[in-house]
């Protein structure tokens, strides 16, 4: 893929970095009216100076109305750990079993929290065995990270506390030019759309 630049027909500069509210609205509106699919041409037709790839990612991970963000429940934590123990880093596969969750979110969640927590747990249980056991997260067949994790995931641990403090909700509520809620976006879309 990407064997040659997608903008071969026209020399449009490609925007990168965080999406603006305007871009989000354009994308939402366009998909609401035309549906998903053929992301490269979608990006062009919608007038977005983004790659199709970028549009797809933004839509799937953030703008889609059925995306649930934050507040990963203990049940979901357990499920993630179980599935990861079973399949390893097959994030999209795991995400399919967590309705509303994206592979990106699960991946980030795993890397930033679960993995770290497992490491800590291992350090406590026996620092010496780390040569083999630190690879536990990768070595899914020989051990069960979930087992480590579950024991350290009891609601009394700081881990759960972190969750609560971390996930105050999808978006901060203080006023900020670039902060808005998905509900806002969708209501705007409804106003703009048909």
Closer residue to DNA, CB minimum distance, 2 or 22: 2
In the complex, what is the shortest distance from the CB of residue 106 to DNA, in angstroms, rounded to a whole number?
A: 9
In the complex, what is the shortest distance from the CB of residue 24 to DNA, in angstroms, rounded to a whole number?
A: 8
Distance of CA 138 to the CA centre of its chain: 20
Closer residue to DNA, CB minimum distance, 43 or 146: 43
What are the residues binding DNA (CB under 7 A)?
1-4, 6, 15-19, 37-41, 50-54, 56-58, 61-62, 69-70, 89-93, 103-105, 107-109, 111-113, 116, 162, 165-168, 170, 172, 176
In the complex, what is the shortest distance from the CB of residue 116 to DNA, in angstroms, rounded to a whole number?
A: 6
In the complex, what is the shortest distance from the CB of residue 76 to DNA, in angstroms, rounded to a whole number?
A: 13
Closer residue to DNA, CB minimum distance, 19 or 133: 19
Closer residue to DNA, CB minimum distance, 2 or 194: 2
């Amino acid at each position: 893929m990407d064997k040659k630049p997608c903008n071969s027909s026209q020399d449009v500069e490609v925007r990168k970095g965080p999406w603006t509210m305007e871009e989000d609205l354009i994308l939402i509106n366009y998909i609401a009216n035309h549906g998903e699919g053929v992301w490269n041409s979608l990006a062009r037709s919608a007038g977005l100076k983004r790659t199709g790839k970028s549009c797809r990612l933004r839509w799937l991970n953030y703008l889609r109305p059925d995306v649930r963000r934050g507040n990963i429940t203990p049940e979901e934590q357990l499920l993630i750990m179980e599935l990861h123990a079973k399949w390893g880093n097959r994030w999209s596969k795991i995400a399919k079993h967590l309705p509303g969750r994206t592979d990106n979110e699960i991946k980030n969640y795993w890397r930033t929290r679960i993995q770290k927590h497992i490491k800590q747990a291992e350090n406590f249980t026996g620092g010496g065995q780390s040569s083999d056991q630190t690879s536990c997260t990768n070595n899914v067949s020989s051990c069960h990270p979930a087992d480590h994790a579950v024991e350290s995931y009891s609601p009394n641990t700081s881990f759960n506390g972190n969750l609560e403090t971390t996930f105050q909700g999808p978006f901060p509520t203080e006023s900020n030019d670039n902060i808005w809620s998905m509900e806002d976006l969708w209501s705007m879309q409804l106003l703009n759309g048909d």
